[in-house]
Amino acid sequence: MSNTYGYVRVSTREQNEERQMIAMRDMGVPEDNIYMEKQSGKDFERLQYRRLVRRMKKDDLLYIKSIDRLGRNYEEIQCQWRVLTKEKGVDICVIDMPLLDTRRGKDLVGTFLSDIVLQVLSFVAENERTNIRQRQAEGIAAARERGVRLGRPPAPLPPNFHDVYLRWRDQEISVKQAAVECRMPKSTFYYRAKDYGTDGNGSAPAPPRR
């Protein structure tokens, strides 16, 4: 007896998978048969996807909302499609693209059309991934040009930092001694001290590291 499954994927933990989950329920996929994960589509090394593939057997049906939910790597999408449909004998239905439903048109013409659509959509999925990465890189570069600091905000400075900084700035103590007094690694103290002097809080630029 064949079973129906659904695969849901979002790229980050901030994205919401509810739209895909609703589509799976509308298709009548049992809740226990929906495999969902929050992971990049750059490859198929995904825990839930691997579990899904192991569980499915010949004549089972797999629903995905769109081809980019399966993945975003042109060659790997087509490879996985062949593994599922040819090697495991599973049917696949891409909800947003009715032409990609292996239950229909299993003759030569139908298979030919499906292959063409799959190639186009998997290319589009990878191209979009490339564009996303480019936009991210451009956004980071633009932010840095504006002086925006990226990443986690630095931890608060210890209460004695100002006094220790002044003694180190005046070369009364070494960077190693200053780091010990502030209970931080030498590299961290020096980095924070440079910022402290540059921002004007230290009244004068930091001296060379010693």
Nearby residues of 114 by Cβ (< 8 Å), 6 or more positions away = 99, 100, 102, 105
State residue 128 phi and psi, 5-degree precision. -65, -40
Task: Look up residue 31 and give its DSSP letter.
Answer: G
Q: 12 in helix, strand or coil? A: coil
Integer Cα distance of 184 and 169 in angstroms: 17
Angle subtended at Cα 20 by Cα 14 and Cα 24, rounded to the nearest 5 degrees: 145
Integer Cα distance of 189 and 14 in angstroms: 34
Q: Which of 2, 11, 40, 122 is catalytic?
A: 11
Integer Cα distance of 107 and 128 in angstroms: 31
Structure tokens, 159: 């209460």
Residue owning tokens 């402290």: 196
Catalytic residue status for 66: no
State residue 144 phi and psi, 5-degree precision. -65, -35
Hey, which residues are catalytic here? 11
